[in-house]
Amino acid sequence: MDLTVYGHPTNAEATLVVTADTACVPAALLGPAGEPWGVLAEVLSGGVYYTVDSVNATPDQNDFVLTVGDQLFLKPANRLRMRRTSTDSCVKLQAFA
């Protein structure tokens, strides 16, 4: 599947360890108020459930799944919520303005 990315990469990036608690994109990768950035996420280890429908959602097995090597681009970045599928997982994030 092709992945379409909008904008240009910034120098804002992070690597998250996604646990049983819901993880979201760190504030430093969200962009300025009124001009939300997008985020490219790639699963480096494990797997994550994710949802994009609410900034307060708790993803579970009824939502979407990403596994090792899968990538997702989402704008605005603050909509991405993740939770591990079984073991703690590592996700790389890159902000796009």
CATH number at residue 24: 2.60.120.10
Predicted confidence at residue 43, as pLDDT, reads 98
Does 69 fall in a domain? yes
Query: For the chain, how many structural domains are there in total?
Result: 1
Fill in the amino acid letter for 54. S
Per-residue pLDDT of the chain (97 residues; tens, 9 = 90+): 577 888 889 999 999 999 999 999 999 999 988 789 999 999 999 999 999 988 889 999 999 999 999 999 999 999 999 999 999 999 999 999 9
CA gap 58, 23 in Å, rounded: 9
Predicted confidence at residue 1, as pLDDT, reads 59
CA gap 86, 16 in Å, rounded: 16
Of the candidates 29, 27, 77, the one whose C-alpha atom is nearest the C-alpha of residue 50 is 77
In the β-sheet with 23-24, what is the strand arrangement from edge to edge? 23-24, 81-84, 47-51, 64-67
Does 4 fall in a domain? no
Which residues form the domain of 38? 9-96
Does 43 fall in a domain? yes
CA gap 63, 68 in Å, rounded: 17
Does the pTM surpass 0.85? The reply is yes
Does 2 fall in a domain? no
Does 25 fall in a domain? yes
Predicted confidence at residue 6, as pLDDT, reads 80
